[in-house]
Amino acid sequence: MTLSPEQLAEIEAERSVSRPTRRAVSDGIEAYLYTAQPVLDHGFVRVVDYMGDDAAICQAARVSYGKGTKSVQNDAGLIRYLMRHWHSTPFEMCEIKLHVKLPVFVARQWIRHRTANVNEYSARYSILDREFYIPAPDALAAQSVVNNQGRGAALQGDEAARVLRLLTEDANRAYDSYEAMISQDGQQGLARELARMNLPANIYTQWYWKTDLHNLLHFLRLRADTHAQYEIRVYAEAICKIVADWVPLTWAAFDDYRLGGAALSRTGLDCIRRMLAGEAVTEDTSGMSKGEWREFRALLDGEK
């Protein structure tokens, strides 16, 4: 993890100031403010600001539903009800702004979540640092033979060393050319907006990313899943820890119903009812495709 001297000075100055406020404060997330949580080799996640807490969610829900919440005796029960029945609007009352440093190829996956406000470091205006994501040896894996967008067995020995050498050499060679193109040593130099196109996808970028809690939980449900690519999953896992301390009641419900729960099709529910009735349901009698049956059996067997 690398922060520039200017960023470190800015963070330290902000952390040294204490401001009285009448706004809702979550003690759990306050500790994260202005503190970078390291991710990968040079990346980080940093909480810049936030709005709301568990109580804000309940407040919004009670305004919305009125008498319909009279039977809910506590905030935890109400939040679990909202999560269980997919009532998402109250969760939008909370927001968070993160400063994230991440490889470009991870950013291109991340930006697919279009329900956020994003401002990225400009390589048209500024010069990118010579910082690349180079996987740890245990993160190098061959292409999966059963999943076209997944990984298989880990590379070993000479093959792992060869790949690491190529990744490192190619990244540095591309950056050398980038520096040479923008150099103004006796020449005008190529425009930065053009020179950047030669840089590799593992170079680091930074952005400020602001979203509401509902859309953040959707992001985490997909990206903290074991099937997500490792490099974006570790960012999601770092954010999970922050959310768990920020809105603990919401996190408990989300962990139970979304991360730990499962959605079943009508056919899947029918198969479970038949199994409970004593029928030996098989792939051939399930009414499912081969892929659906494989996932259904993995679900029943407790596999992710």
Q: What is the CATH number of domain 1-133+202-261?
A: 3.30.1360.170
Of the residues 223, 258, 266, 297, which is catalytic?
223
Any catalytic annotation for residue 223?
A: yes
CA gap 175, 144 in Å, rounded: 31
Q: What's the token pair of residue 87? A: 């009532």
Instruction: Kindly tell me the sign of the dihedral angle through the C-alpha atoms of 88, 240, 254, 68.
Output: negative
From first to last of the 304 residues of the chain, give the pLDDT tens digit: 467 788 788 878 877 777 788 888 899 999 999 889 999 999 999 999 999 999 999 999 988 655 555 544 689 999 999 999 999 999 999 999 999 999 999 999 999 999 999 999 999 889 999 999 999 988 887 776 666 666 667 788 888 889 999 999 999 999 999 999 998 776 778 999 999 999 999 999 999 999 999 999 999 999 999 889 999 999 999 999 999 999 999 999 999 999 999 889 999 999 999 999 999 999 999 999 999 999 999 999 887 6
Phi-psi bin for 66: left (phi > 0), alpha (psi -120 to 50), beta? left
